[in-house]
């Protein structure tokens, strides 16, 4: 494995509804990297997700963090992101809070990969989940993301899926 190249200056900041277009670009890129190539379906996903994301970011059921690096202009360049969805969920004997945290949309633009950016985003989100006293945090791993998630302590679970369409 190649050594990680460290970026000069990564800043992680929490997203606002104004960041939704960038979050959606990265969400699309994530699916394209997983070889999902139906352009019409990807465009429909973006149109459908936009009002949800703006609303959910505003009311707090979606939290998103953006990684930025210093850029030649006055504004930093966004190079990656990740999100946590907070869903209502029945209590368990080992977790009496009626909510569940799910990480999704972890993405770094290809030219900025292997610099520790996704790891920093994940560490930020995991830290936030700990601060919010979630008992666990869940995610679905792509083949490319699995080694990072395992290195951060994520374990495979017994979750299953039935496709209905």
Residue 18 lies in a domain: yes
Provide the CATH number for the domain around residue 83: 3.40.630.30
Domain count, the chain: 1
Per-residue pLDDT of the chain (165 residues; tens, 9 = 90+): 445 555 458 999 999 999 999 999 999 999 999 999 999 999 999 999 999 999 999 999 999 999 999 766 667 899 999 999 999 999 999 999 999 999 999 999 999 999 999 999 999 999 999 999 999 999 999 888 999 999 999 999 888 888 999
Residue 115 lies in a domain: yes
Residue 1 lies in a domain: no
Residue 34 lies in a domain: yes
Q: How much is the pLDDT for 7?
A: 45
Q: How much is the pLDDT for 63?
A: 98
Distance, in Å, from the CA atom of 123 to the CA atom of 116, rounded to the nearest integer, reads 10
Sign of CA dihedral 126, 4, 65, 34: negative
Q: CA 69, 15, 19 angle in degrees (round to 5)?
A: 85
Residue 138 lies in a domain: yes
Residue 24: its H or E element? helix 20-33
Give me the domain span that covers residue 59.
13-151
- Asked whether the beta carbons of 106 and 12 are under 8 A apart, the reply is no
Q: How much is the pLDDT for 127?
A: 98
Residue 156 lies in a domain: no
Which residues are 67's β-sheet partners?
Answer: 12, 80
Residue 2 lies in a domain: no
Q: How much is the pLDDT for 73?
A: 64
Q: How much is the pLDDT for 89?
A: 95
Residue 51 lies in a domain: yes
């Amino acid at each position: 494995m190649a050594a990680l190249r460290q970026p000069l200056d990564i800043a992680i900041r929490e997203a606002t509804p104004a960041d939704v277009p960038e979050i959606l670009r990265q969400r699309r890129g994530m699916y394209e990297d997983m070889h999902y190539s139906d352009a019409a379906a990807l465009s429909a996903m973006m149109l459908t997700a936009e009002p949800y994301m703006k609303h959910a970011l505003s009311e707090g059921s979606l939290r998103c963090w953006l990684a930025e690096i210093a850029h030649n202009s006055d504004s930093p360049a966004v190079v990656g992101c990740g999100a946590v969805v907070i869903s209502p969920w029945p209590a368990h004997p080992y977790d009496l809070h009626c909510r569940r945290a799910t990480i999704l949309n972890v993405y770094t633009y290809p030219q900025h990969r292997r610099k520790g950016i996704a790891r920093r985003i994940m560490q930020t989100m995991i830290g936030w989940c700990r601060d919010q006293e979630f008992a666990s945090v869940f995610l679905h791993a792509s083949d490319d993301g699995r080694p990072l998630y395992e290195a951060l302590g994520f374990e495979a679970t017994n979750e299953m899926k039935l496709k209905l369409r």
